[in-house]
Structure 1
């Protein structure tokens, strides 16, 4: 696997390709990928997600991916050094790094607001103009457009946060959620007792603190997030059930099936068949 790093804060690249120039890459930085034209599949972390013209996708640090290009595709790539993201300042977005990590690649395109599609298209055209027409203060102008793109990405990603989470959520809640998402495949690490120790909070207080800020219990959040990921594996990957069992740390297929059926009222195979052969 090819590991790619970057040393500058921001890099904007335009590419028109018939096949992915780099196969199975892994990044150490955030990357926004806007599809100017074309369609195909984004294969990310073992899953396949379709992409098409107008999609905006977010690749987070340590993702590994490749593109299966079905028709000639024009990409605008906006690479963001992790240090740039950590230091990002905005009047209303305090914790942009935690927020960007909410992107879970469940739908590929992170745009949830229809009205933002025009804005992203316009900003992308402006960035391409800056890249192709060098002039004084280019870097300042590019950063201005990139910041606008970050804000649009952030407010769309916010749509997939826990539904009850407050707008003025405490930074530590974002860190707890980020920790859970990062360790969702390790059951031992997302036990209430372990999370409490990790964030130096008592188990009793952690439960009420999380529910007060997120509108659901921490156990419910963990289960719902895990279910969403499993749904995605069943819908968009060719992973076998036993592979999903191993990935999420279940004891066996029966254990996973019981967990899934409790939340979705359908078996794993039933769910997959319904997605492959819808009525």
Structure 2
């Protein structure tokens, strides 16, 4: 996996795009990403969440991610290093313990936007807008007293949101545990279509189908069917690269209706057919290096 190295202690940039161009990567800094306009999906550490305008994502150095853009999106990306954060205060008043903890581990919690309250989102965007104005007018972010003060406030807001996320009640913890158990069940039965029917899964976990569908969507940002399809396609991609199975055999193994069904779904996520993907994967390493990452990133 590619690792993005940022040499500047602090950067802010606006990116408007219809296709996320950066490959999946980890980095040496923290990132706060605000969705100003647009919609799509955010994939972080293998978990996929729907995003929309107003959502806010916070990423630590060990998190790996990419975006799947469905509707033209404007991203505001604030990147800063541990050194920059430490330099904002020498008094110890601003500890930002939740942010620092996030920097030590990759997030595995099933949460999407860290800020869901509309007023909180507006307040955060207003602070960031002033930083963007400072950058436009003065071209200096580091050692800028106004920017430093704004970033202290932003970091305190983010730290509070992370603290609230960590302190969620037992019902949320139970929901997260349920999602993990559902994920394990799907993994074990991925080649058994009858066991992956919604009615069957709901019965196994003693929920009504409608309740389980809503709960899974709330916790993960995608439906159970979307999760199953994505997982199947990841396994298909592995088969294409590492096995000699025919496309028909692979389609049959994972319960696709036929080759056309597999081709349609695979192309939606990888922007190419299984046959073309296999051909590229077998090409010399110099040619395939940039290709083997799913093109929905």
Kindly tell me: are residues 228 and 47 of structure 1, through their superposed partners in 2, closer, same or farther at Cα, counting changes over 3 Å?
same
Q: Aligned partners of 1:58 and 1:134: how far apart in 2?
A: 27
Deviations 1:44-86 (Å, cap 9, x if unpaired)? 1112101111111011112111110011111111112133345
C-alpha deviation, 1:24, in angstroms: 0.9
Kindly tell me: are residues 142 and 88 of structure 1, through their superposed partners in 2, closer, same or farther at Cα, counting changes over 3 Å?
closer
- Out of 146, 149, 171, which is 1:144 matched to? 149
Partners of 2:96 and 2:159 within 8 A in 1? no
Matches within 5 A, 1:21-100: 21-85=21-85, 89=89, 91=93, 93=95, 95=97, 96-98=99-101
Q: 2:159 maps to what in 1?
A: 154
Partners of 2:37 and 2:54 within 8 A in 1? yes
Q: 2:129 maps to what in 1?
A: 125
Q: Aligned partners of 2:74 and 2:185: how far apart in 1?
A: 30
Q: 1:231 maps to what in 2?
A: 179
Q: Which runs of 5+ in 2 are unaligned?
A: 191-202, 217-222, 226-297
C-alpha deviation, 1:112, in angstroms: 4.3
C-alpha deviation, 1:122, in angstroms: 0.5
Q: Aligned partners of 1:115 and 1:77: how far apart in 2?
A: 20
Q: 2:19 maps to what in 1?
A: 19
Q: Aligned partners of 2:8 and 2:141: how far apart in 1?
A: 17
Partners of 1:103 and 1:157 within 8 A in 2? no
Kindly tell me: are residues 241 and 88 of structure 1, through their superposed partners in 2, closer, same or farther at Cα, counting changes over 3 Å?
farther
Q: TM-score, normalised by structure 1?
A: 0.58
Deviations 1:115-141 (Å, cap 9, x if unpaired)? 312211211211221222225777413
Q: 1:205 maps to what in 2?
A: none
Q: TM-score, normalised by structure 2?
A: 0.55
SS of corresponding position for 1:133 = helix
C-alpha deviation, 1:6, in angstroms: 1.6
Kindly tell me: are residues 265 and 60 of structure 1, through their superposed partners in 2, closer, same or farther at Cα, counting changes over 3 Å?
farther
Q: Which runs of 5+ in 1 are unaligned?
A: 165-220, 245-260
Matches within 5 A, 1:188-267: 225=173, 228=176, 231=179, 240-242=186-188, 266=207
Q: 2:3 maps to what in 1?
A: 3
SS of corresponding position for 1:22 = coil
Kindly tell me: are residues 224 and 110 of structure 1, through their superposed partners in 2, closer, same or farther at Cα, counting changes over 3 Å?
closer
Q: 2:277 maps to what in 1?
A: none
Q: Aligned partners of 1:239 and 1:18: how far apart in 2?
A: 35
Q: Aligned partners of 2:106 and 2:166: how far apart in 1?
A: 7
Cα-Cα RMSD: 4.1
Kindly tell me: are residues 17 and 137 of structure 1, through their superposed partners in 2, closer, same or farther at Cα, counting changes over 3 Å?
closer
Kindly tell me: are residues 103 and 232 of structure 1, through their superposed partners in 2, closer, same or farther at Cα, counting changes over 3 Å?
same
Partners of 2:11 and 2:80 within 8 A in 1? yes
Q: Aligned partners of 1:91 and 1:137: how far apart in 2?
A: 22
Q: Aligned partners of 1:139 and 1:127: how far apart in 2?
A: 13
Rg comparison, structure with higher value: 2
Partners of 1:45 and 1:63 within 8 A in 2? yes
Partners of 2:41 and 2:50 within 8 A in 1? yes
